[in-house]
Every structure is written in C-alpha cells, then in structure tokens.
Amino acid sequence: MQQDFEADFWKDAERRKIWDDIVPGEPRKTIPYTLTLEAIQRYCRAVGDLHPLYFDEEYARRSRYDGLIAPPSIHILLMFACIPADDWMRSPGTVNAGQSWSYNCPARPGDTITLQARALDKFIKRERLFVIHDNVFFNQQGDVICSGRGWTIRPM
Amino acid sequence: MSKFFDTLVAGYRIEGTEFGISRESIRAFCDASLDYNPLHIDDAYMTGSFGKTNFGGIIMHGMTNFGLITRMLTDWAYSENAVHRRLETRWLVPVKPDDTIRPHGSVKFKHVTAKSRWVVIDVEVRNQRDEQVVTGEALVEFPPDAAP
C-alpha cells in the first residue's frame, strides 16, 4: 500500500461533496502522482497480468516500447492516486455503473502523472443519483496517456 | 505490414484467462488500485440496502473486470503488433468471493480509415454460472507501418 494514503474512506466522508453539491463542468482538485515500477507491478499481480512488458526490463527494451511500461488499465490506480482524500470519488457507497476509456500512449515507471477531471453531467434515473465523470491523464511531457468517462451511482 | 489483420473475420474469438475471486483477491485489488470503498471491505456495511439493491456481503471491484478484459486484449494485441485503443464496459451483475470469472471477445467488424486499420470487438465477462456479468466493446488498432 502507498505510505501516505488514507485507506479509511469514512474518515473524510463529511468533507466530501454529495450529489446535490456537484457542479458539472467545475474542475476537480487533483494531485500529481509519481508512478513507480512497484505500484505498476502490484496492480498487474492483482489482475494476474505478468506480461514481460511490465516485468522483464530486457524484453521490454528490445520491444517497440523501448522499455518497461504500465498496462493501459493502470488508470484504475491513477484515478485514486491523483485525487485528494476529500474527493467524492472516495465516498463510501459510490457504485461504478460503467466506464469508457481511450488510450494514447503508455504510462511508464517514473512518470509524474497529472489528472484533469470534472463531473460532466448529473441526472436522476429510476430513483438513483448518477454522475458522469470526465477524466484525462497526462505524463510529465504533457502527452495524453488516456482519457475516460465513468458513470457512477452516488450514495444516498 | 502484418497480414493478420487481413485474415480477421467477424466472429473471430479471443479468449481470456479464468480468474478466481476471493476475499484475498479483492483485498489485493484494494491495495493495487487504492480503492478502499467499504463495498469491497466491510461485510457489516454491505448487509444494508443501496436504494433497491442489497448485495448481502462484499462485492468485487467492477474495475477488476475491466482489468481482466484489458489483459485479454493486450495479450492478443501485443502478440500481433497491434495497439489496444479503447474499452467501454457496463456492469450487469455483481461478482462476489468464490465466484470465478472469465473474459471473452468476438470480432464485430473491421474498419480502415485514412491512416490506420481498426478492429471493433464485442467483449463480455461470464461467471461460473455462465451469467453475463459485464458487457462492452473494444477497439484495437493495427497500424499499417507496424513491423511484421
């Protein structure tokens, strides 16, 4: 686990915006995150993905990626790593309803990742409170790593 | 130029690897994703109701499905010098400890644009009861200049 990460999602629950407070279009506060090889490999192991592009430096250097990379789905980690403790993505009971992501270039160990994020839309359907999230991750060169949209059901 | 793209036809199957879910695998995903939502940790919390839904215990992160589908697609794409470009998913059924899930893919159609070649793939994840737990669509690029 990351050293300074608060794993108790209840702790800052009172400080987080609820559905009523969320303003679509308003940028969310985000924090830069240095992606380590250790974090990449911990994620890979959690989904049983031991591809040599993520684990074998020699293999990766000879590949067309010219070095170790992270799998495209590393944004699953980056989403939580790049937001502060009072962000509403951490609200207990947030249910993921769907996701769509586009991939441009791979994240790499040592990259400093930044996130631009906002709610894009919010609506009520079948007595449930939905928010559509809009997220773009960049590396330290300003290249887009990936961009994605998520649908969550907000806790009542 | 890779000839594999030319040989691909609609209905071509891509098979993922079976993955067993346990309380430990869910906890490992918490540590890997930093997603410690009590949905995935706290059984007492999960005995409550979420609107009309009651899960009756902790559930797997929906994004574990996403990661497993990605693994299936990248294993396939890397081996053919192709690039995984997009994945869209919708969760249908929650996955719980002791479930076993497996992703599958099926080529829907191919498309050639001004600068590249693309394959659209229907993806799904099924559990041990053969229930569809996730459905979605992926896009894989076969760049024309990729080394064979």
What is the spatial distance between Cα A123 and Cα B80, in angstroms, rounded to a whole number?
Answer: 42
Angle formed at CA B138 by CA B132 and CA B142, multiple of 5 degrees: 145
Which residues of chain A have a CB within 8 Å of the CB of B25? Answer: 46
Across the interface, whether the CB atoms of B28 and A90 are under 8 A apart is answered: no
The string of pLDDT tens digits covering residues B29-51 is: 999 999 998 889 888 888 877 66
Mean pLDDT of chain B: 93
- Residue A80 clears pLDDT 80, i.e. is over it: yes
**Which letter does DSSP use for residue A72 in this model?**
G
User: Are B39 and A93 inside 8 Å of each other by CB?
Assistant: yes
What is the β-pairing status of strands A33-34 and B132-141? unpaired
Q: Would you give the DSSP letter of residue B56?
A: S
Q: How far apart are the first and last CA of chain A?
A: 29
Q: Is the pLDDT of residue B148 over 50?
A: no
Q: Given B36, B64, B91, which is nearest A98 (Cβ)?
A: B91
Distance from CA of B62 to the nearest CA of A (A): 7
DSSP β-ladder status, B13-15 and B83-91: unpaired
Provide the token pair at A96: 């993921």
Strand partners, B91: B134
CATH 3.10.129.10, applies to B4-21+60-141 = yes
CB-CB neighbours of A10 under 10 Å: 14
- Write out pLDDT tens, residues A27-38: 999 999 999 999
Residue length, chain B? 148
ipTM confidence: 0.94
pLDDT band for position B88 (50/70/90)? very high
**Residue A145 backbone phi and psi in degrees, to 5:** -85, -50
Question: Would the pLDDT of A2 be above 70?
Answer: no
Angle between helices B62-79 and A37-46 (to 10 degrees): 100
Q: Give the span between the Cα atoms of A35 and A40, in whole angstroms.
A: 7
Mean pLDDT of B66-82: 97
Q: How many residues does the structure list for chain A?
A: 156
Q: Does the pLDDT of residue A16 top 90, yes or no?
A: no
Which H or E element spans position A41?
helix A37-46
Do the Cβ atoms of A28 and A134 come closer than 8 Å? Answer: no
Q: What is the reported pLDDT for B44? A: 83
Span A128-153, mean pLDDT?
A: 96
CA B53/CA B16 separation, integer angstroms: 30
pLDDT tens, residue by residue, B90-122: 999 999 999 999 999 999 999 999 999 999 999
**Helix, coil or strand: residue A61:** helix
pLDDT for res B1: 54
Check pLDDT > 70 for residue A3. no
Cα separation, B90 vs B63, in Å, equals 10
What's the rounded mean pLDDT across residues B15-42?
A: 94
| pTM of the predicted protein model | 0.94
Q: Does A119 touch chain B (CB under 8 A)?
A: no
> How distant, in Å, are the alpha carbons of A54, A57, B12, B145 from that of A63?
12, 10, 26, 15
Residue-wise pLDDT tens digits, A67-79: 999 999 999 999 9
Name the pLDDT band for B3 (thresholds 50, 70, 90). confident
Return d(Cα A120, Cα A152) in angstroms, integer. Answer: 12
Judged against a pLDDT cut of 70, whether residue B23 lies above it is answered with yes
| Listed ranges A19-23, B42-46, B75-79; the one with the highest mean pLDDT | B75-79
**Which residue shows structure tokens 């592009």?**
A53
Tell me which of 3.10.290.10, 3.90.226.10, 3.10.129.10, 3.40.47.10 is the CATH number of domain A17-35+73-153.
3.10.129.10
Domain boundaries, chain B: 4-21+60-141
